[in-house]
Amino acid sequence: MGALNTPSHFVGLDAARRSGVAGFGLPTRRALAASLSLAVAGLFQLTAAAQGPKPAPADVSASAAVTTPLPAASAAPAAAVAPAPVSSGQAVAPPTSPLGPEAAPMTDEPVLEARLLKLSEELRCLVCQNESLASSRAELADDLRREVRSLLSEGKTDQQVKSFLVERYGDFVLYRPELKPMTWLLWFGPFVLLLGAVSGLGWYLRQRRKLADTAPAMSDAERARVDQWLKD
């Protein structure tokens, strides 16, 4: 369900559009993109930190570069104004990163954004129907994400947001329909079918075995005839 989305796709929709990384369809590609962005982020921090006033710790982990709100972003402009003190041979590099300026953080509220992302992966886009609200780039999806974002920042719970949408668009917006008498068939139907099929199979097998047990055994004359046929 959620495998279709990358976080960058969601919060940085415009950035994703520009760079053309949106629309990865496969989990493997997603993983590829994620590792690539991790690598890039790590590289960024390493180069930026090397130019900053403090020498970089040698073990800047790539994951920290993603979860922490990029301390390098503040260090880089300072380095551009005043040349960094020479701490190692690397300082001969130009003051700005060869990869261009550091991207601005995509959101001021990463916790809210994460909730929005998680929630909108559970919601269906009504225009594209087989895409989640998180992955869809339809305009209505944009609007609904904005609506969900504002509801969340008002302090609504996930459940309240879901019922807000269900009240307006119906159960269809939920990828996982609620369990209620209307949806019993949907939830339990397959298991009922499976149960039926298994018991049908059991009944058939029992019937067959009974038939085999009760079938009259061959007489000696019949056996001799079969042997004769087999020989011929």
Residues binding another protein (CB under 8 A): 126-127, 129, 139-140, 143-144, 147, 166-172
Q: Which is nearer to another protein, 85 or 170 (CB)?
A: 170
What is the smallest separation between the CB atom of 107 and another protein, expressed in angstroms?
20
What is the smallest separation between the CB atom of 220 and another protein, expressed in angstroms?
34
What is the smallest separation between the CB atom of 166 and another protein, expressed in angstroms?
7
Q: Which is nearer to another protein, 27 or 175 (CB)?
A: 175
Q: Which tokens belong to 83?
A: 């040349």
What is the smallest separation between the CB atom of 141 and another protein, expressed in angstroms?
10
C-alpha 3/C-alpha 177 separation (Å) is 19
Phi-psi domain of 52 (left: phi exceeds 0; alpha: psi -120 through 50; beta: other): beta
- The Cβ of residue 128 has, within 10 Å, a number of other Cβ atoms equal to 15
Helices (H), the chain: 7-11, 13-19, 27-51, 62-67, 72-81, 110-120, 139-153, 158-169, 184-214, 220-231
Q: Which is nearer to another protein, 54 or 146 (CB)?
A: 146
Q: Which is nearer to another protein, 19 or 150 (CB)?
A: 150
